[in-house]
Amino acid sequence: MRRALPVMAPGIGSFRKERSRARTKPRPREERLVETHCCYCGVQCGMYLRVSGDGKVFGVEPRDHDINKMKLCPKGVTAYQQVNHTDRLTTPLMRDRRDQPLRPVSWDAAFDRVVSEIQTIQAKYGADAFAVYSGSSLTTEKCYLMGKFARVALGTKHVDYNGRLCMVSAAGANKKAFGVDRAANPWSDMLETDVIMLLGANVGECFPVATQYFWGARDRGAKLITVDPRETPIARTADIHVPLRPGTDAAFCNAVLHVIEREGLVDEEFIAARTIGWGQLREKVREYPPERAGKICGVDPALIEQVALTWGRADKAMAFHARGIEHHTQGVNNCLTVINLVLATGQIGRPGKGYGTITGQGNGQGGREHGQKSDQLPGQRMIEDPEARAHICRAWGITDEELPHKGTSAVEMVHQAERGEIAGWLGICNNPLVSMPNTDRIARGYDSLEFHCQIDFFLSETCVRADVVLPSTCWAEDEGVSTNAEGRVIKYNKAAEPPGEAKPDWWIVCEIARRLGRHADKFGFGSAREIFEELRVASAGGLADYSGMTYERIEQSGGIFWPCPSEDHPGTPRLFEQSFAHPDGLARFHAIDWQHPAEEVDDEFPLRLTTGRTVAHYLSGNQTRRIDALVQQTPSPWIEVHPDLGYSNGDPVRIVSRRGSATYPALVVASIRRDTVFIPYHWATPVAANLMTVDALDPTSLIPEFKVCACRIEPGVAMDETMPPPVPPGGQSYDFSRMTDRQPSAPQGRGTGRG
C-alpha cells in the first residue's frame, strides 16, 4: 500500500486539477538518511534528509537532536524541497547591458567578466570602490571566507553582511554590557526558571520549535510575560501580556526597573560584587515612574507594576528578546534596558537565571563573529584593535598595511552606491530588494552600480538586476558549521551533489581570488574542512574561540558552545557564571533615556507601521515563496488592522508613508493595537512592506528602524498583485492564479479546514 514521494518538483502535482501524479510515482528502492540541521532560523533544528539510491534528496525524517527533540516547523518540514526544485540556478547567467535579458554562459566567461570588472573598477576608483555584501545563512566557513576575500583578495574596506538587518543591536548591547556578544544560557536553562520575560519576539511564528522551551517552563509552573504590540500566538496564553506602542520599549523597561528599585527588590549583593554604574542608572530609572511610562507606551501603569513585581519577586528569572526591540534607531539602548533589569536583579549566570537574544538567521551568531562584519575580524575581534590586527595578519600572512580598516554598514553601502562612491558590488546570500528599508531607494542604489554580481541558488529579486549571477549550492549540497541562537556550533552534512553546473560558494569565491591574483595563494582551499581548520587558528584566543572544535567533536556531541579553546575543552554552554568578559570581569549598567522613534506620528500620518515575519515564510522569501505547502498556507501579504479602524476582512486597504504606498487586503484583528498596523515583509514590490519603512539607522549598531514608522491608511481601489518569485531563463513561474481568493484567515496563514 506504500506509495512514493515525488522526487520531482516539490508538491506541484497536488494542486493540478488532474489525477494526482504523485500517487503513481514509485518509492525509491534504496534510501539512506543524512544527519543534518535545518537551514532556516536561529534554532537550527536537527533533521535527517532522505536520500535515494541515485543520490537525490526526496524527503525529511524527524531527528531526535538535543536542540529540537524531533520537532520541526512547516518551513523545516519542507526545507528539503529546495534541493531539487525546478527554479534552481544551474548555470552562470550574464548580460552585457542591463536592458538585455540574462543569458546562460560558461563559468570561464562569467569569471573573466567578474575579474575584469573588479580590476577595472579598482584601477579607476581605488580598492574601496568595490564592495562585498554577504549573509548569515551561509556556513561559518563561508562567512569567514567572505571577510578574508574582501580584505585580502580585493583589499577593500567595504564588506558587511545581512545580520546588519537582523540582530546587530543585541550584539552591540551585549558587547557594551558584558564585553562579549553571545546568548548567556543554553535554552534548557529555561526549564528551571520561575519567570520568563519575552520582549519583541514572536516565538510561535519566527522560532516555532523554541516554543517547547517556553512552555516546558510553564508546564513546570513558570510565569510567562510577553511584551509586543501584537498579541502573537505565544502571547495569547501568556500570564501577562503588555501590548505597548511600537518604539517605546526603553521607557517600559526603565519603568519596570523603577518599580523594582522602589520596592527594594534589586540584588544589592550582586550589584556590588559584579557590576559598575548602578548609581547613575538608579537616578535615571527614578525619572520613569509607571505613570509616565504608561503614557509613553500607551499601556495601563498597573500592568507595568504587575510585571515589575512578578519579575522582582521571582527567585529565578530569564529575559529573551528578538527583532521587536532591536529594529529601532534606539535598538542598542532598548537591549541595554533589558540587560539593566537582568543585572539589577542578579538574574544571570546560573541555571534558570539568564538572558539572550534569539537570532533570526540560522547562522546569525556564527555569521557575525568571524570577520564579515564591517568592524570585526575573526574570533569576534575588533578591526581597529592593534593586537587583533597583528594576530590576524599573522594568521593570514599579510602586513598591517595590507589589512583594510573599518568599513561602513550594509544600508550605508547601498546609499554610497547611489551616490557613486561604490561602483562595483559582489552580493552573496541576500536579497536587499525585499529586505532593506525604503525599497525604492535601495533599487536606485543597485541600479547606480557600474557592475553588480550576485551569488545565489535561486534567482532573487536582487539577482534579476545584476550583470552576472553565479549559481551556488543550497545547504544540503555542502558541509560546514553553523552557530545557533544559544551559541551552540552544529554541523550541516552534504546530502547531494549540486544541480547542473552549480558550485559550492567557497569554490566560486576562491576561483575569483585565484584569477584576480592578489594573494591568490591564500585562497587555495580544496574543501570546507580546510577553511574550518584555518578558521580555528584565526579564532584562537579571540572571544569566539573555536580552536578546540573539530568536525568530529561537533558531530559526536549535540553541538559545542564557544568559547572552546582546546580539543579537551567541553565548550561553554553557560556564560558569566564567575565573571563577565570586560577586562575587570564586571558587567556595565547603562543609564538610558527613551527617545522618540526617527519618525513620529502626526496629523498627516497618524498610525504606526510595524513589520515582521509570518510562520510560513523566511526573510526575503527567496527560498520559501517557491515551496508549495508554504505558498498554500500563506500565498501573499496583508495589512493587519484593528476593528475600530472600520474595515472588514479582505477590504483593499491602501497604506501610505512618506516613502511609498501599496494596497493590501485587510486582516481585521483585535490582537493588534488600534494605533498600529502590521505588514509581513517577505514579499517583493509592489507588495513589499519595505516600500513604506524608514531607512533611519541606530547610531551604534546601524540597524534600520524596521519596527516603527509613521503611516496612514485609506480605502484602496485595487489590490496590488503578489508576483511569483523570478525564475531562470526558460523556467516556468509558480502558478499563483488559483491562489487569488486565498487571503489568510489568521496571522499564521489560512486554515485548511472548512470555513
Partner 1 sequence: MTKKALFIDPGRCIGCQACVAACRECDSHPGKSMIHLDYPDPGNSTAAAPTVCMHCSDPVAPCAQVCPTDAIPIDEQGIVGSASEELCIGCGNCVHACPFGVPKLDLVEMLQSKCDMCYDRTSQGKLPMCASVCPTDALFFGTQAELMQKRPGVQAVDIFGFGDETVRTNNAMVAPAGKNLDRIPGGYSREPDSRE
Cα 435 to the chain's mean position, in Å? Answer: 10
- Asked if 105 touches partner 1 (CB under 8 A), the answer is no
Q: Rule CB under 8 A: which of 355-414 touch partner 1?
A: none
Give the type of residue at 75.
Answer: K
CB closer to partner 1, 182 vs 241? 241
CB closer to partner 1, 56 vs 292? 56
CB 52 → partner 1: shortest distance, Å? Answer: 13
Q: Which of 76, 186, 294, 621 binds partner 1 (CB under 8 A)?
A: 76
Q: Which of 188, 211, 557, 579 binds partner 1 (CB under 8 A)?
A: 211
CB 639 → partner 1: shortest distance, Å? Answer: 14
CB closer to partner 1, 211 vs 579? 211
Please report, to the nearest 10 degrees, the dihedral formed by the alpha carbons of residues 594, 599, 604, 607 taken in order: -60
- Asked if 6 touches partner 1 (CB under 8 A), the answer is yes
Long-range CB contacts for residues 110-116, cutoff 8 Å, separation at least 24: 110/468, 110/470, 111/511, 111/512, 111/515, 112/515, 113/467, 113/468, 114/426, 114/453, 114/468, 114/470, 114/512, 115/512, 115/515, 115/516
CB of 43 closer than 8 Å to CB of 209: yes
Tell me which stretch binds partner 1 (CB under 8 A): 155-163, 208-216, 319-327, 711-719: 208-216
Calculate helix-pair angle for 505-516, 107-125, nearest 10 degrees.
Answer: 50
Q: Which of 42, 59, 364, 379 binds partner 1 (CB under 8 A)?
A: 59
3-state secondary structure (DSSP) of residue 136: coil
Tell me which stretch binds partner 1 (CB under 8 A): 326-334, 506-514, 623-631, 714-722: 623-631
- Asked if 212 touches partner 1 (CB under 8 A), the answer is yes
The radius of gyration computed from the CA coordinates of the chain, to the nearest angstrom, equals 25
Q: Which of 616, 677, 691, 727 binds partner 1 (CB under 8 A)?
A: 616
CB of 578 closer than 8 Å to CB of 683: no
**Can you tell me the distance from the alpha carbon of 8 to that of 25, in angstroms, rounded to the nearest whole number?**
10
Residue with cell 554577504: 134
CB atoms under 10 Å from CB of 131, counted, come to: 28
Tell me which stretch binds partner 1 (CB under 8 A): 69-77, 460-468, 566-574, 586-594: 69-77
Q: Which of 420, 643, 646, 729 binds partner 1 (CB under 8 A)?
A: 643
CB closer to partner 1, 78 vs 156? 78
- Asked if 665 touches partner 1 (CB under 8 A), the answer is no
- Asked if 73 touches partner 1 (CB under 8 A), the answer is yes
- Asked if 97 touches partner 1 (CB under 8 A), the answer is no
CB of 360 closer than 8 Å to CB of 135: no
Q: Which of 42, 46, 74, 471 binds partner 1 (CB under 8 A)?
A: 74
CB 560 → partner 1: shortest distance, Å? Answer: 25
- Asked if 30 touches partner 1 (CB under 8 A), the answer is no
- Asked if 743 touches partner 1 (CB under 8 A), the answer is no
CB closer to partner 1, 63 vs 494? 63
CB 610 → partner 1: shortest distance, Å? Answer: 16
CB 470 → partner 1: shortest distance, Å? Answer: 31
> Ramachandran region of residue 155, left (φ > 0), alpha (ψ -120 to 50) or beta?
left
- Asked if 232 touches partner 1 (CB under 8 A), the answer is yes
CB closer to partner 1, 73 vs 495? 73
CB atoms under 10 Å from CB of 717, counted, come to: 8
- Asked if 749 touches partner 1 (CB under 8 A), the answer is yes
Tell me which stretch binds partner 1 (CB under 8 A): 67-75, 151-159, 351-359, 403-411: 67-75
Tell me which stretch binds partner 1 (CB under 8 A): 11-19, 284-292, 415-423, 676-684: 11-19
- Asked if 200 touches partner 1 (CB under 8 A), the answer is no
- Asked if 705 touches partner 1 (CB under 8 A), the answer is no
- Asked if 629 touches partner 1 (CB under 8 A), the answer is yes
CB of 134 closer than 8 Å to CB of 429: yes
User: x/- contact string, 248-277, with partner 1 (CB under 8 A)?
Assistant: ------------------------------
CB of 371 closer than 8 Å to CB of 531: no
Q: Which of 33, 34, 56, 62 binds partner 1 (CB under 8 A)?
A: 62
CB of 562 closer than 8 Å to CB of 544: yes
Cα 739 to the chain's mean position, in Å? Answer: 28
Q: Is the peptide bond before 665 cis (omega within 30 degrees of 0)?
A: no
Please report, to the nearest 10 degrees, the dihedral formed by the alpha carbons of residues 428, 430, 433, 435 taken in order: -160
> Ramachandran region of residue 94, left (φ > 0), alpha (ψ -120 to 50) or beta?
beta
Q: Which of 14, 188, 527, 550 binds partner 1 (CB under 8 A)?
A: 14
C-alpha cell of residue 632: 498554500
| Closest C-alpha among 162, 72, 114, 90 to residue 477 | 90
Which residues neighbour 290 within 8 Å (Cβ) at sequence distance 6 or greater?
255, 258, 259, 301, 302, 304, 305, 308
* Number of residues located near partner 1, criterion CB under 8 A: 64
| Closest C-alpha among 335, 328, 330, 381 to residue 358 | 335
Q: Which of 36, 78, 275, 743 binds partner 1 (CB under 8 A)?
A: 78
Cα 648 to the chain's mean position, in Å? Answer: 33
CB 35 → partner 1: shortest distance, Å? Answer: 16
CB closer to partner 1, 25 vs 262? 25
- Asked if 119 touches partner 1 (CB under 8 A), the answer is no
CB 402 → partner 1: shortest distance, Å? Answer: 48
Tell me which stretch binds partner 1 (CB under 8 A): 87-95, 255-263, 391-399, 669-677: 669-677
CB closer to partner 1, 58 vs 576? 58
CB closer to partner 1, 191 vs 586? 191
Tell me which stretch binds partner 1 (CB under 8 A): 146-154, 210-218, 532-540, 707-715: 210-218
**Can you tell me the distance from the alpha carbon of 81 to that of 734, in angstroms, rounded to the nearest whole number?**
14
Decide the pairing of beta strands 376-377 and 240-242: unpaired
What are the start-end ranges of the E strands in 209-308?
A: 223-227, 240-242, 275-276
Tell me which stretch binds partner 1 (CB under 8 A): 115-123, 281-289, 559-567, 664-672: 664-672
Q: Rule CB under 8 A: which of 494-533 touch partner 1?
A: none
C-alpha cell of residue 521: 595563494
Which residues neighbour 286 within 8 Å (Cβ) at sequence distance 6 or greater?
258, 261
Q: Which of 106, 732, 733, 745 binds partner 1 (CB under 8 A)?
A: 745
- Asked if 650 touches partner 1 (CB under 8 A), the answer is no
What are the start-end ranges of the E strands in 284-358?
A: 317-321, 354-357
Environment class of 516 (CB within 10 Å of its CB; exposed 0-12, middle 13-18, buried 19+)? buried
**Can you tell me the distance from the alpha carbon of 376 to that of 361, in angstroms, rounded to the nearest whole number?**
19
Q: Which of 94, 102, 153, 209 binds partner 1 (CB under 8 A)?
A: 209
Which residues neighbour 268 within 8 Å (Cβ) at sequence distance 6 or greater?
none
Which residues neighbour 57 within 8 Å (Cβ) at sequence distance 6 or greater?
49, 50, 51, 80, 83, 84, 476, 495, 496
Q: Which of 620, 671, 676, 700 binds partner 1 (CB under 8 A)?
A: 671
Q: Which of 224, 234, 510, 581 binds partner 1 (CB under 8 A)?
A: 234
CB closer to partner 1, 219 vs 567? 219
Q: Which of 131, 198, 615, 639 binds partner 1 (CB under 8 A)?
A: 615
Interface contacts to partner 1, rule CB under 8 A: 1-6, 11, 13-14, 17-20, 22-23, 25, 27, 59-60, 62, 70-74, 76-78, 204-205, 208-209, 211-212, 215, 219, 231-234, 236-237, 615-616, 628-630, 633, 643, 649, 668-671, 745-749, 751-755
